[in-house]
Structure 1
Amino acid sequence: MQRTIAKATTSFFFVVAAEQVPAALYAVDPGPYNPDIGSFAAWYQDTHGRTLDLCLSKAQSTRVPGAPGAPSYMCSLLPEPGVYDDAQPLVFPTNFPPEAFWFTADAAITDATSGIDLSYGAAIEAAFAVEEPAEGDQISFARIRIRVDVPTIGTYTVTHPYGVEVFEVTADDFGTDGGGAINMTRDIGIGAPKTYTGALGGDIGPFLRSVNGPYLEVNPETSATERFIGDPNLAEAVTGSPFNTNYLRIQGPDGIDLRTNLFTVSGKLSDVVRPTPVIVQRSTYSRSAGEAGASAQQDVFVMAPPPSGTASYEDSADAAVAMTEANATGNWYGQSASNPTLPASVSITADNSVAIPESTPTTLAAPLVDLVQIQRAEYSLSSGQLTVVASSSDETSPPALTATASSGAAIGALSGDGAIKSLTTGITPTPPAKVTVTSGGGGSDTEEVVILP
């Protein structure tokens, strides 16, 4: 079982569009960890508010019948001779799966005409550093796996719910049988045993889920009715992609362009009570004295569960402001025309209890700051001069702007009568890689320094 990025038979590079920078997972069970489930984290929660238990239930699908020796489990339970017998009670570590999952999503594209055979897998996985169940070796990680048999050399682009991957297939990647292959596994989050926070920074999240779910099934061992975000025995359309790409697509040479929106998904919804996730992306104010007269606005961007979830905020004057969400990705925006008295803050509330009855509303305060933008950050090698030009969104009461280097060293204050200010100063012997401009209004911006002759 691979724990790190597999060496691909294809040389490849990974590309995500610049605007695609979502949060992935939101929270993980902090412990203490239950030895009955292998002392793994009991659950992970995503930014859409869904919390999934480690899926060890033996509930079976009532939509897809199983076969003798091959039950249609709602969890991705993988029996392994001599290690885990799924016909026997689960006991750690003597009868426990070497791999288990909080979440899985799999899809495939096979096309005889073009010669494409693609398999895709996304997962939040529980495993062991020594590959077989053992106390003290528990690990978790977020996995993206893409494997493709391709017909010819060239550039192949795979778009999936959690990003975009670009692979460059060369003649060296073809075997003696004439076939070429792409083979990528990216595991993120593997850390010290029983440290489960690493997967929060992986590519997975929010969890994909069937558009037909959730499904209710009965656990034969407990007689409890359990809820699942999908049926791994059934390929279905899904929702939940942070980029609104709820499909798998491959594009390549000679007009290859194939896609599917069918995935097999597993995940058991938890009964744990969790607050509604809220991530503040931006809370800024602007003020100007234009030809039409003075104006002001407060702009708030947050990530929270999409509808039927709700999000709103109270501006600095305690007025209620509705927020809108456009495409089910969970990105909300609202604007107020109130002129803030500084220092100021807004109070944001998100509620996902309609979709997730176990969730509770969340209210949090966020400071209201000005929006700082660096227009120029240039260093001349010939003169040794650094020039920085930046502006604040507060045009009526322009705050002080101060520049610092990427090392944290102070560079100096920008000067100017209005909201746009500048600084030119000598820096030796080397230029800073980046410059950060910080405002007295609380905002900041960081840009890479352009090196001139």
Structure 2
Amino acid sequence: MHRPTPHPLALLILASILQTPAQAALFEVDPGPYLPATGGFAAWYQDTHGRVLDLCLSKAVSSRVPGAPGTPSYMCVLNPAPGVFDDTQPISFPSNYPDETFWFTADAAIVDAARGIDLSYGTAIEAAFAAEEVVDGDQVSFARVRIRVDVPTAGTYIVTHPYGVEVFDVPAAGGRAINMTRDIGIGTPKTYMGALKGDVGPFLRGVGGPYTETNPATGASERFIGDPNLEEAVTGSPFNTNFVRIEGPNGLDLRTELFSVSGKLSDVVRPTPVIAQRSTYSRHSENGDLRAQQDVFVQAPPPPASATLISQTPNLTLTEANTTGAWYAQSVLNPALPMNLQVTADNHLAIPSSTPTTLTLPLTDLVVIQRAEYSLASGQLTLVASTSDETSPPMLSARTGNGATIGTLSGNGAVKTLTTGLSPIPPAKVTVTSANGGSDSEEVVLVP
């Protein structure tokens, strides 16, 4: 099978996704109670950039794109369904209610008849019913990524989009030769936490927004992150890939930066989201002098938000990378253990109602397993691991992936070892934990 050489950007993005922890997409969901006004669904979701979107049920229409007779240009995606939902009548659960509604949608398309490509891309945080009937007690939500492509020839295709990179080996050309739908979060009805584990988020936003329209039922002004009736550039991708791109055989390389986006901004007041990623220290001697550093990583809204390490004097401002919400700071103070750090994130410049959040992070050493090897012939497990505290190396202990104790590593320096017999089978994974809180886990390499 012919395999085209992927574009370097696609390789870089794919590598970053594979080599880093899962990108935090959504931060929180309405805990309830869940009311008939929202069809028994969660009223809102909040993303890691701090924006809160309501379940979009408004019949406000676009002031930029006129509707056609019988098809109003709603700012929310409200699809009529005969016998289920009549959009000319008031929404009422369950007698006149859509069988699918959305907190967020973003759609894009690439059509090139000359190259034989017809691509549709859709992503959403969706509310639906497990049996596809509007019935109370059957409500579910999920994060969706859908990619469908007509392709002219067999081969390997790479689709880069705002929430990741997908690689497709296509055995034959044809309509919808690529047909991927990934729904994450469907669980027990009326439980809505599952969508938080999906790969949709932070919410994409139209660069022309937010847009303000009037709800005809209430007369209230409402704000929206996009207008689904038009196409525009967006921002918000966690990987700075605010586009859809397809690469494939015979030099195929097409892209679009235009999306149709829907999402209604909520009036719910929420604190600034901040997620701990790493807080570690290291220290060593250099020419007789102590060298120490503390490294702090958090996920929080990008600028104009701020993140500040407030547990030291003077306070230390964290630096953000590429509008993705990844923040970092390094302090050269020698820590007095045990120690907790405190980081305050503040997003009120972007979202005036947002309140600051202070997060407490335990400071630990950084443990690295350098070798985890099991000899099938001898039944011996060999571990080599190190701690970042070279001046006062703490005790390192090992356990199997299921928590069974293996033993304590030995050695006077920062690098410690353990060789011990384990039977009747090797552990699949080991974890080495430091007395100063650091830990590392690795799969065990099996040798003859």
Give TM class, smaller chain.
over 0.9
Q: Which residue of 2 aligns with 1:299?
A: 295
Q: Deviations over 1:250-269 (max 9, x none)?
A: 11111111111111100000
- 1:314 Cα offset (Å): 2.3
2:215 counterpart (208, 213, 219): 219
The DSSP-based 3-state class of the residue aligned with 2:425 is: coil
Structure 2 Cα separation of the partners of residues 213 and 312 of structure 1: 29
- 1:318 Cα offset (Å): 4.5
Q: 1:76 to 1:389 in 2, by over 3 A?
A: same
Q: Which residue of 2 aligns with 1:68?
A: 69
The correspondence of residues 302-341 of structure 1 with structure 2, limited to 5 A, is 302-315=298-311, 317-341=312-336
Q: Which residue of 1 aligns with 2:436?
A: 441
Which residue identity lines up with residue 184 of structure 2 in the other structure? I
- 1:345 Cα offset (Å): 0.8
Kept in 2, the 8 Å contact 1:152–1:180? The answer is no
Q: Which residue of 2 aligns with 1:259?
A: 255
Kept in 2, the 8 Å contact 1:379–1:450? The answer is yes
**Structure 1 stretches (4+) deviating beyond 3 angstroms?**
none
Structure 2 Cα separation of the partners of residues 204 and 241 of structure 1: 9
Q: 1:318 to 1:441 in 2, by over 3 A?
A: farther
- 1:158 Cα offset (Å): 0.7
Q: 1:162 to 1:180 in 2, by over 3 A?
A: closer
Q: Which residue of 1 aligns with 2:137?
A: 136
Kept in 2, the 8 Å contact 1:128–1:137? The answer is yes
Structure 1 Cα separation of the partners of residues 362 and 285 of structure 2: 23
- 1:34 Cα offset (Å): 1.5
- 1:292 Cα offset (Å): 6.6
The DSSP-based 3-state class of the residue aligned with 1:17 is: helix
- 1:151 Cα offset (Å): 0.4
Normalising by structure 1, we get a TM-score of 0.94
Q: Are 1:163 and 2:164 counterparts? A: yes
Which residue identity lines up with residue 220 of structure 1 in the other structure? P
Q: 1:319 to 1:439 in 2, by over 3 A?
A: farther
Which residue identity lines up with residue 22 of structure 1 in the other structure? Q
1:347 counterpart (335, 342, 346): 342
The correspondence of residues 44-123 of structure 1 with structure 2, limited to 5 A, is 44-123=45-124
Structure 1 Cα separation of the partners of residues 305 and 440 of structure 2: 31
Q: Are 1:277 and 2:268 counterparts? A: no
Which residue identity lines up with residue 425 of structure 1 in the other structure? T
Q: Which residue of 1 aligns with 2:10?
A: none
Q: Which residue of 1 aligns with 2:351?
A: 356
The DSSP-based 3-state class of the residue aligned with 1:203 is: coil
Kept in 2, the 8 Å contact 1:89–1:95? The answer is yes
The DSSP-based 3-state class of the residue aligned with 2:134 is: coil
Structure 1 Cα separation of the partners of residues 382 and 184 of structure 2: 39
The DSSP-based 3-state class of the residue aligned with 1:226 is: strand
Q: Deviations over 1:337-381 (max 9, x none)?
A: 111111001111001111112211101211100011111111111
Q: Which residue of 2 aligns with 1:184?
A: 180
The DSSP-based 3-state class of the residue aligned with 2:250 is: helix
The DSSP-based 3-state class of the residue aligned with 2:37 is: helix
Q: Which residue of 1 aligns with 2:7?
A: none
Q: Deviations over 1:398-430 (max 9, x none)?
A: 000001111211111011111111111111111
- 1:442 Cα offset (Å): 0.5
The DSSP-based 3-state class of the residue aligned with 2:18 is: coil
2:417 counterpart (417, 422, 425): 422
The DSSP-based 3-state class of the residue aligned with 1:274 is: coil
Q: Deviations over 1:215-267 (max 9, x none)?
A: 11111111111111111111111111111111101111111111111111000
Query: Structure 1: which 5+ runs fail to align?
Result: 1-13
Structure 2 Cα separation of the partners of residues 41 and 448 of structure 1: 39
- 1:319 Cα offset (Å): 3.7
Kept in 1, the 8 Å contact 2:23–2:199? The answer is no
**Alignment: residue pair count:** 434
Which residue identity lines up with residue 153 of structure 1 in the other structure? A
Which residue identity lines up with residue 140 of structure 1 in the other structure? S
Kept in 2, the 8 Å contact 1:20–1:243? The answer is no
Structure 2 Cα separation of the partners of residues 165 and 325 of structure 1: 27
- 1:17 Cα offset (Å): 2.8
Structure 2 Cα separation of the partners of residues 164 and 291 of structure 1: 47
Q: 1:72 to 1:180 in 2, by over 3 A?
A: closer
Q: Which residue of 1 aligns with 2:391?
A: 396
Q: Which residue of 1 aligns with 2:152?
A: 151
Structure 2 Cα separation of the partners of residues 44 and 72 of structure 1: 24
Which residue identity lines up with residue 48 of structure 2 in the other structure? T
- 1:132 Cα offset (Å): 2.2
Structure 1 Cα separation of the partners of residues 442 and 114 of structure 2: 48
